[in-house]
Chain A
């Protein structure tokens, strides 16, 4: 039992299970998944589908945070990417054609990559603190998105584009399939190659890892590009789900949700170690929480309050000082130095 409690993923998993149990008690139909018109329907599927953008952004954020960075601009990048795609589709000759949607998606993804290059450039080449370097794009990005959409909410009617956020393939939502695919690729790259270790070493000490022969600058640059790529795809999902690009509200606060998911998943903000599976659980926890709150009769907007409580609880659990204070009340035990 003690071994189990010590596992890093124990607490987040337990919290998620508790939340699901609570939901099942309040709404007995919560766990039921039914097939309708060849699609899977149910609360769980909704959570998966709506949680896909946060999960994607959180995946990118995990790697950024593992290098001891942070990317505040993901919400703005999501808004820009959605804006670019929608404006392209709305302005093309054949706004309903599948080929138009593909080109739009490609352009939006390239935009995301470029924005990631920009963030990475500021952080790794110029050497600005990540929080500020990305704050620049966070501030200016929504303005840019407004510039692209000309201040309007651009709506599009394109069946192929709609699939990305609201479609189903083999009874499962496309959005979650994409998110899981990115998750799988990232997990394989990070854990089956040396990449994950290199990222962690940069997070622990960029200078030392550079002296050890690691291209610390390239690694840092790459994680920001990856982060922006994920944000761009998430932005496409949001735009596709609503069939509209809303420069002001698309992906609003998603950076905070993503950071929250990463932190809940046990990745330390101090960098140097990360858990992709933890992030997956964290993202699902946040989305389940967002679903739970209205179900148990509290206004949906109040979920900020619950998120705050979760953040504080997680931080205190992670804080070595708080742990030491807890430990000192118990019978004598050797105090282990915290790895972080």
Chain B
């Protein structure tokens, strides 16, 4: 290569790099990814063994259920709604799974019972929200109470899960190249994530979700099926919560009414930190995954440190949430 051409390249390349800016809609996701990488880098510099790939995989292992919840919550928040019921539905799912198994149902029947009940709750919530104009916040609050109440009606005590197929699935491990391993739950979560991303970004349903989130009345005037979308996202969220409940039941091998208290907040935080606008219409499922991983990294950070108490998790999640909503606010204000 001659010196002149390399000189030309060296003048244009940085310029092009400087001139390049990613599409605006990717900016929040890129910010979250950068923060995630930065945090992980800081952790690996500070603590021995932090950079081990198994640590990264364990983020998925410990947060598989949160990822599934986050995917469902992303759909809801993209339409400008919110679903506060997910934590209670997770608890209810663990209870249904544990009690049906205890009653001697086969594992498949228990799984189906859980998925059906979660989906039905989600659909009912969507119907109430859309057809009766009840605010999503208050309708999902009602379902939250409802699901917790049902938990207590099933049992006030914790019910252990001893079913053979459940325990073998829970204790199973999927070997990965390089001697690393994950649990089967991670595979379920990754499949849910992939399906969620596919629906949202590649299908007509997904495009309509964004349209409804951008402006419900415009979407309606365009002849889009707003009712289907609005009921649909809550149904998806209900299904995801039930599935997450199953994963949580596998994770803890028990059903308990007090499981997953406050998990809806973690899910909402993950979605928001992942760059999805709370006003709806903009965001990506992949951002939610980064959000979940970021929350997981904070926990790993704190457990690696050893001197920090676990309540710093809550404080740092709150602080991150704050930073991201303020950034969101500034971004949307500039465009307005």
A212 within 8 Å of B (CB atoms): no
Query: CA of A128 to CA of B333 in the docked complex: distance in angstroms?
Result: 11
**Nearest CB on A from B145, distance (A):** 4
A305 — nearest CB in chain B belongs to which residue?
B149
Count contacts between A and B, CB distance < 8 Å: 129
B328 — nearest CB in chain A belongs to which residue?
A128
Q: Which stretch in A16-24, A26-34, A164-172, A308-316 binds the other chain?
A: A308-316
Question: Which of B138, B257, B272, B312 sits near A311, CB closer than 8 Å?
Answer: B138
**Nearest CB on B from A235, distance (A):** 17
Whether B318 contacts A147 by the Cβ 8 Å rule is: no
Q: Which stretch in A52-60, A154-162, A213-221, A319-327 binds the other chain?
A: A319-327
Whether A129 contacts B145 by the Cβ 8 Å rule is: no
Query: CA of A129 to CA of B149 in the docked complex: distance in angstroms?
Result: 29
Query: CA of A137 to CA of B265 in the docked complex: distance in angstroms?
Result: 11
Contact flags A294-322 to B (C-beta < 8 A → 1, else 0)? 00000101111111110110011001111
Contact flags B245-262 to A (C-beta < 8 A → 1, else 0)? 000000000000100000
Contact flags B282-320 to A (C-beta < 8 A → 1, else 0)? 000000000000000000000000000101111101110
Whether B134 contacts A70 by the Cβ 8 Å rule is: no
Q: Which residues of B contact A45 (CB under 8 A)?
A: none
Whether B317 contacts A140 by the Cβ 8 Å rule is: yes
Given the known A-B contacts A136-B318, A137-B318, A299-B152, are A315 and B325 also in contact in the complex, defined by CB atoms under 8 Å? no
Whether A319 contacts B82 by the Cβ 8 Å rule is: no
Question: Which of A141, A144, A301, A319 sits near B156, CB closer than 8 Å?
Answer: A301
Question: Which of B132, B153, B326 sits near A322, CB closer than 8 Å?
Answer: B132
B191 within 8 Å of A (CB atoms): no
Query: CA of A308 to CA of B145 in the docked complex: distance in angstroms?
Result: 5
Question: Which of B150, B156, B279 sits near A305, CB closer than 8 Å?
Answer: B150
A316 — nearest CB in chain B belongs to which residue?
B132
**Chain A interface, DSSP helix/strand/loop, else mixed:** helix
Whether B138 contacts A302 by the Cβ 8 Å rule is: no
| Size of the chain B interface, CB-CB below 8 angstroms | 44
Whether A299 contacts B156 by the Cβ 8 Å rule is: yes
Given the known A-B contacts A140-B317, A143-B312, A308-B142, are A132 and B149 also in contact in the complex, defined by CB atoms under 8 Å? no
Whether A136 contacts B325 by the Cβ 8 Å rule is: yes
A178 within 8 Å of B (CB atoms): no
Whether A308 contacts B318 by the Cβ 8 Å rule is: no
A259 within 8 Å of B (CB atoms): yes
Whether B134 contacts A315 by the Cβ 8 Å rule is: yes
Whether B146 contacts A304 by the Cβ 8 Å rule is: yes
Whether A127 contacts B333 by the Cβ 8 Å rule is: yes
Pick 24 A–B contacts, CB within 8 A, sort by A. Answer: A126-B329, A128-B326, A135-B268, A138-B265, A139-B269, A139-B318, A146-B309, A147-B315, A151-B309, A269-B138, A299-B156, A302-B149, A302-B153, A303-B149, A304-B152, A305-B145, A305-B148, A305-B150, A306-B149, A307-B149, A312-B146, A315-B142, A316-B134, A319-B134
